[in-house]
Structure 1
């Protein structure tokens, strides 16, 4: 999302989509990707059954007073903020160590890390956790709804590389706007109106 060479290749990708409408190997590639996406969703649905246990474990990291802060959307104490930050970085570490990401792609600095997808995904997961606490009894939802929330996280994280998100879903829009605000406070890469104007001129 922030690589100039990959951005420049978007036109070629657009041509690829056009060719796929005619059939052939391009069409076969897209159909294989669709099958992979369906398999991934099935995997998420199966693993969503574990979320009550995971939610309880995450909740146990916070004191009763800190849970009240999250539940009632109160100003968060430095201790609560510190635990949320630790949770975010721990999830980022797990993604790099167990997500099949080759080590030469791992970030060398914090500045690099906050502009890469694993960090932004973990940021949105942490925000989702705080939303779940605020909503209460989140884990009584059906697994299909939990999967929908997880997909929202992926969409919101990807959208942090852009200046908006075309969705009427209040949850994903909230995740996106909150993530962009946090990134703006810690020096993350974000598009701005001036950048868009310069790119179009």
Structure 2
């Protein structure tokens, strides 16, 4: 999608149309064989690029939705072409140092990619454990309707189990990355919680498809999609033709919007999540929310 004319048309339509660049997107671009072609359109609109800080940092940002969006942004790089663009331009001119530096970046990206692929080796067991949490009736409903349905059209039983699984995943991830649990008043806007929502929507769709799991490489790509979908819930959407990615994003966005309609316990640790159970009804480009009028 980075080299697609739809992206150029979107950016050319208005100077207020911007693209959010995540670290996972940067990793994918760095591995591309034809790096210059992937950066060409973005290089033509440097002032409309909004690079984000690494996901490791963004998992820790707290506050209101606007404060978290602001905290995600790498403000020192906003409006600048950045190192990659400069290196590509110099390399095209035959600069040996730039060519060497690009080769180093691509090697590092390839190593990181292999590490992430190795990490997905735990997904089959996770898939089995999550599948076991759903009743036979839930599984039957999933395999009959989930492929083209939405989270909002689930039966109450399936909604409640999905809510429980999201809460359990969030508790585990907060403990892993924070070493503690957030207040319920913080929860809905936090990256880790939204990632837990997107991941469980993705897992639900995988369960609905039945059959054997795809290869580790495909699963690795899917984990990137979950990351993209999570970030997209903070902005205006994703410019992509990938139906699986769009399914995860749209249902995660819907789930989060429904979660915002009820008022959970406003104080205390996230273990109070049980109060909320059952009460929730019903290469991609991120598009940032358009500026609000003053």
Alpha-carbon offset, residue 76 of structure 1: 3.0
Match of 2:191 among 101, 117, 136: 117
Secondary structure at the counterpart of residue 115 of structure 1: coil
CA distance in 2, matches of 1:47, 1:80: 29
Deviation by residue 1:20-45 (Cα, 9 ceiling, x = unmatched): 6556xxxxxx9988766544432231
Q: Identify the residue that residue 48 of structure 1 maps to in structure 2.
A: 120
CA distance in 1, matches of 2:158, 2:203: 13
Match of 1:85 among 150, 163, 174: 163
Q: Identify the residue that residue 149 of structure 1 maps to in structure 2.
A: 222
The answer on whether the counterparts of 1:132 and 1:138 sit within 8 Å (CA) in structure 2 is: no
Which structure is higher in RCO with an 8 Å CA cutoff and minimum separation 6?
2
Gaps of 5+ in 2: 1-64, 88-101, 147-152, 262-288
**CA 1:39–1:52 in structure 2 vs 1: closer, same or farther (change >3 Å)?**
same
CA distance in 2, matches of 1:6, 1:115: 12
TM-score (structure 2 length as normaliser) = 0.54
The answer on whether the counterparts of 1:120 and 1:157 sit within 8 Å (CA) in structure 2 is: yes
Deviation by residue 1:81-110 (Cα, 9 ceiling, x = unmatched): 1111111011111111112x365xx5322x
Q: Which has the larger radius of gyration?
A: 2
1:161-176 to structure 2, matched below 5 A, reads 161-176=234-249
Gaps of 5+ in 1: 24-29, 189-194
Secondary structure at the counterpart of residue 189 of structure 2: coil
Question: In the comparison of the two structures, how many residue pairs are matched?
Answer: 184
Does structure 1 residue 198 correspond to structure 2 residue 272? no
CA distance in 2, matches of 1:117, 1:9: 16
**CA 1:69–1:33 in structure 2 vs 1: closer, same or farther (change >3 Å)?**
farther
1:1-201 to structure 2, matched below 5 A, reads 2-3=66-67, 6=71, 10=75, 12-15=76-79, 17-18=81-82, 21-22=85-86, 38-73=110-145, 75-99=153-177, 101=178, 103=180, 107-109=182-184, 111-139=185-213, 141-187=214-260, 196=290, 198-199=292-293
Q: Which has the higher strand share?
A: 2
CA distance in 2, matches of 1:154, 1:107: 21
**CA 1:158–1:38 in structure 2 vs 1: closer, same or farther (change >3 Å)?**
farther
Q: Aligned Cα RMSD in Å? A: 3.1
